[in-house]
Amino acid sequence: MNLDSKGLIVQSTGDAGDQLQREGFWFEGAYLNPSYGSFPTMTPYTDALSLLYTTEGFTRSWMPPYNDPTDTSRDQLVSNIRAMGYNNLKPDLSFILTNIIKNYSRFPNGDIAFINDYGRFIRAYRAWYLSPLLYACDLPLFINSLIRIVASRDPNNVGDDINHIGDLAQAQNIYPTLISWAARKVYKWFRYKGPQYALDWYFRAASGGNPEFAGLWAPIAAEF
């Protein structure tokens, strides 16, 4: 695993532009697959969040030029919304949700928060009393499965699969609906070479990635 001087995840080149996303995706996977093991030099999740937090919001990385909280995108935060939910970090969840609402349903960099984003929060909070709303919130999840299937005609088009896999896993484990079940099965059956291919290709060492992610998530994706 490629780590920087503070024990946070980076590419093999040291690039930390997706550090916040990687931290969330690793620790949600570690929750779902605790038998995989850990790396002694890796910073624990709550400590990692402290390093990536400012009073203005979470940053993509603690290192310039990625330490501007207003540049933090939807893609960087969604894995952490799920990971915070798994780890019961509700104050951090509330900080993100409150700022999205204050920003007129937009993430810090201006990315729009759609209905499926609020479904992710419902599951992260384990707000069972709002679970009936998930039937509507999961419609974009199903549509995204179809989009990823079509996009997978290009074997290199895997970037958007990673957070989708995390969303499918969250929906499978917390308040699943018939729609989320269909989204998961369609994606597993019809995505080119399946979800594991996307994980293997995205995190391949040849591109500077961390193949450990693909190993961590392999049994999770296999359960789709």
Give 34-89 as a DSSP string: GGG---TTSPPHHHHHHHTEETTEE-S-SSTTS--GGG--HHHHHHHHHHHHHTT-
pLDDT at 115 over 90: yes
Answer yes or no: pTM beyond 0.85.
yes
CA distance 133 to 94: 19
Predicted pLDDT of residue 196 = 98
What mean pLDDT do residues 151-166 have? 96
Helix H or strand E segment including 208: none
* Count of domains forming the chain: 1
Please indicate, yes or no, if residue 55 is contained in any of the structural domains: yes
CA distance 18 to 38: 20
- Chain CA centroid to CA 198, Å: 14
Please indicate, yes or no, if residue 105 is contained in any of the structural domains: yes
CA distance 51 to 212: 22
Q: Determine the structural domain holding residue 144 and report its residue range.
A: 19-222
Predicted pLDDT of residue 38 = 83
Angle at 21 between CA 18 and CA 27, to 5 degrees: 135
Q: What percent of the chain has pLDDT over 70?
A: 100
pLDDT, one tens digit per residue, over 23-68 is 999 999 999 999 998 898 999 999 999 999 999 999 999 999 999 9
Residue corresponding to tokens 């693909």: 214
Paired strand residues for 112: 106
Residue corresponding to tokens 């308040």: 175
Predicted pLDDT of residue 37 = 84
Residue of 13, 171, 15, 155 lying closest to 82 (CA atoms):
171
Amino acid in the structure at residue 133: L
Predicted pLDDT of residue 154 = 95
CA distance 212 to 111: 29
Paired strand residues for 147: none
pLDDT at 135 over 90: yes
Please indicate, yes or no, if residue 32 is contained in any of the structural domains: yes
Please indicate, yes or no, if residue 5 is contained in any of the structural domains: no
Please indicate, yes or no, if residue 161 is contained in any of the structural domains: yes
Please indicate, yes or no, if residue 207 is contained in any of the structural domains: yes
Please indicate, yes or no, if residue 167 is contained in any of the structural domains: yes
What mean pLDDT do residues 87-99 have? 97
CA distance 136 to 133: 6
Query: Structure tokens of 220?
Result: 């999770």
Note whether 82 and 116 are within 8 A (CB).
no
Note whether 56 and 37 are within 8 A (CB).
no
Polymer length in residues for the chain: 224
Three-state secondary-structure class, residue 212: helix
Please indicate, yes or no, if residue 6 is contained in any of the structural domains: no
Predicted pLDDT of residue 56 = 92
Q: What percent of the chain has pLDDT over 90?
A: 98
